[in-house]
Structure 1
Amino acid sequence: MTDALSKKDRAEAWFAALRDRICAEFERLEDEAEHLPGEAGRFEYTAWDRDDPTGAPGGGGVRGAMTGRLFEKVGVNISRVEGEFPADFAAQIPGASEDPRFFATGISLVAHMTSPHVPAVHMNTRYLATTQDWFGGGADLNPPFPVAEDTASWLDALVGCCDRHDVADGKRYKEWCDEYFYIPHRQRARGVGGIFYDRLNSGDWEADFAFTQDVGETFLSAYPPIVRRNMHREWTEEERLAQLRYRGLYAEFNLVYDRGTTFGLKTGGNVDAILMSLPPLARWD
């Protein structure tokens, strides 16, 4: 049996190691984009701390951000926070109404690309503990101009990841992603989908953790090939404008509906890290 302390430390260490590998791969993609103007981007890292509302130290994280020639804006954040939920928010979190103390660690990334033909992407995985504990996360692809080959390879990879683990349900997690990333006031999906899962506690922590790790590995193997297939395609000014309008959907969802945004703001997280998901430019008209 894995004790509570080692669960927290092992999850945090995994998310940090995954961050390092993802950032290294994204910098390699920047180096390969020699056809685009400007210098290859590099990540800059900013550590942050939070004070819990109780006055006790509340943990913190590291915000990694890069502006480059291929990645117009990308953030890859890791965090480890703990403390007590505010009473009104505790009532919404499993196990927190009995005891408001919590622990959370995770990785979250969003990439907005310079080219309208390279899909934006989101991925996060997390471990959260109150009087209960669970994993959650997922990944979804957000192309302004969907390409059937890209969508198929992306979904096959993520559903295939689920199918490798008895604790996961690929069909349900794909449907959950479609439901979660739907924008009711626009009556449309934010992107072409992926997987989404939450409150995963099968009773076998090691199995749940192994699946969560595989989600990160699958992202790292599935997204860069999509970037490489599309990064050299030329685009028009009309396509760029369409991309900016499409980004408006992303901003609307993240500000109105996203649970991660709500969780970060309700728990006093770093605002710049929380809102790193917003695109650098967007358009409504």
Structure 2
Amino acid sequence: MGTDFTEYKARAAEWFRLLRDRITLAFEDLEDRAGGDAPPGRFEVTPTTREDGGGGLMSVMRGGRVFEKVGVNWSAVHGTLGERAQKAMAARGVPGMETDPRFWASGISLVAHMQNPHCPAVHMNTRMFWTPHASWFGGGADLNPCIEYPEDTAHFHAQLRAACDAHDPAYYDRFKAWADAYFFIPHRGRARGVGGIFYDDLNTGDWEADFAFTRAVGEAFLPAFLPVTERHLSQPWGEAEREAQLVHRGLYAEYNLVYDRGTKFGLETGHDANAVLMSLPPLAKWI
């Protein structure tokens, strides 16, 4: 395996693309099974490009039976980091960026906003990042209900714990705590949801093990999310529940625009703005 990580990059990018395909098919199948008078939703797939190099696929479904808006994006991009991004990398302890600011990154990013307020919104992403000086994996998933059901929270976390425990018994507690801190909204003094796991800068020195763990996080997503969604598909809701949903979405929008690392990185490095901002809800409300 060469020091330029050519094969590693290709394998990671292919895996993220396959995970994207698997999830979009599962979501369209859920739309078909949900029933109702409205036609089942389907993803609109748009290629994206980055001027400096690379691109991806932006897959967005709007106005479905289950999903009011859901995006599942895949990308593999490369080029050189600008000055602000170089400083951000240096602040994270990545050496040598001022002399050789090349980078490569690939990943999948998913955010779902639901029709039924009893169904929780959700976020998931996994990614690999490479520079000539360091490489690492990152990602995670977190559940964002506007109306919390303890059994949903317990199921979601149990699936993520199982994925973590299969690789390192210390991972779940460590990455859950990281998610609790990362998905916190300081100016509101509260979390944006009921948490999950979050990890970044994962490089244990064993690329295969780190890649295997990252795959496990991606594979845990559908078993974690689909059952809690299916549980509430037919649950009645009215104006009060819709109001709670729209206000909660305001929290989500605030977080992603003010604090989210991925949003900042995508905009600063020139990736397609529509793809970067795909995570924003179709409607939200502030009171």
Partner of 1:235: 237
**How many Å apart are 1:81 and its aligned residue?**
0.5
CA contact (8 A) 1:167 1:208 kept: no
1: CA distance, partners of 2:169 / 2:162: 13
Shift of 1:40: 0.3
- Cα distance, 1:38 vs structure 2: 1.3
Kept in 2, the 8 Å contact 1:47–1:60? The answer is yes
Which residue number in structure 2 is paired with residue 47 of structure 1? 47
Alignment partner of 2:88: what SS? coil
Residue equivalent to 2:218: 216
SS in 1 for 2:251: helix
Cross-structure match for 2:33? 32
- Alpha-carbon distance, 1:97 to partner: 3.5
Deviations 1:100-132 (A, max 9, x none): 100000000000000100000000000000120
Paired residues for 1:100-119 under 5 Å: 100-119=101-120
SS in 2 for 1:230: coil
* Segment of structure 1 superposing worse, 94-103 or 176-185: 94-103
Q: Distance in 1 between matches of 2:180 and 2:234?
A: 29
Matched, 1:80 2:76: yes
AA in 2 matched with 1:65? V
The reply on whether 1:193 has 2:214 as its aligned counterpart is no
| Aligned counterparts of 1:215 and 1:280: Cα–Cα separation in 2 | 27
Q: Contact (CA 8 Å) 1:167, 1:207: kept in 2 or not?
A: no
Q: Which amino acid aligns with 1:26?
A: F
Gaps of 5+ in 1: 53-57
Task: Indicate how the Cα distance of structure 1 residues 149 and 103 shifts in structure 2: closer, same or farther if over 3 A, else same.
Answer: same
Residue 97 of structure 1: aligned partner:
98
Report SS of the residue matched to 2:231. Answer: helix
Distance 1:146 1:17 in 2: 31
Hey, what's the Cα distance between the residues in 2 that align with 1:154 and 1:41? 24
- The alignment status of 1:10 with 2:11, answered yes or no, reads yes
Deviations 1:46-78 (A, max 9, x none): 0011112xxxxx111110011112100000000
Matched residues in 1 for 2:215 and 2:2: separation? 16
CA contact (8 A) 2:253 2:281 kept: yes
Partner of 1:255: 257
Secondary structure at the aligned position of 1:199 is classed as: strand
Contact 1:167 1:202 in 2 (8 A): no
Per-residue deviation, 1:166: 2.9
Call closer, same or farther: CA 1:98–1:45 in 2, change over 3 Å: same
What corresponds to 1:152 in structure 2? Answer: 154
1: CA distance, partners of 2:222 / 2:148? 20
When the two chains are superposed, the root-mean-square deviation of aligned CA atoms in Å is: 1.2
* Corresponding letter in the other structure for 1:38: A
Count matched residues: 279
In the alignment, is the contact (CA less than 8 A) between 1:126 and 1:136 conserved in 2? yes
**Secondary structure of the residue that 2:117 maps to in structure 1?**
coil
Q: Distance in 1 between matches of 2:81 and 2:177?
A: 30
Q: How big is the shift at 1:89?
A: 1.6
Q: For 2:194 and 2:250, locate their aligned partners in 1 and report how far apart those are by CA, in whole Å.
A: 16
Match of 1:55 in 2: none
Conservation of the 8 A alpha-carbon contact between 1:48 and 1:60: yes
Q: Assess if the C-alpha contact under 8 Å between 1:104 and 1:128 holds in 2.
A: yes
Q: In structure 2, what is the Cα distance between the partners aligned to 1:197 and 1:2?
A: 26
More displaced 10-residue stretch of structure 1: 26-35 or 261-270: 26-35
Paired residue for 2:134?
Answer: 132
- Is 2:48–2:275's contact at 8 Å kept on the other side of the alignment? no
Partner of 2:66: 70
Q: Aligned partners of 2:99 and 2:146: how far apart in 1?
A: 44
Query: Structure 2 length as normaliser, TM-score?
Result: 0.95
Match of 2:207 in 1: 205
Q: Which residue of 1 aligns with 2:267?
A: 265
1:61 partner letter = G
Structure 1 length as normaliser, TM-score? 0.95
Unaligned runs of 5+ in 2: none
Aligned residues of 1:162 and 1:169 also touching (Cα < 8 A): yes
1:88 to partner: Cα distance:
2.4
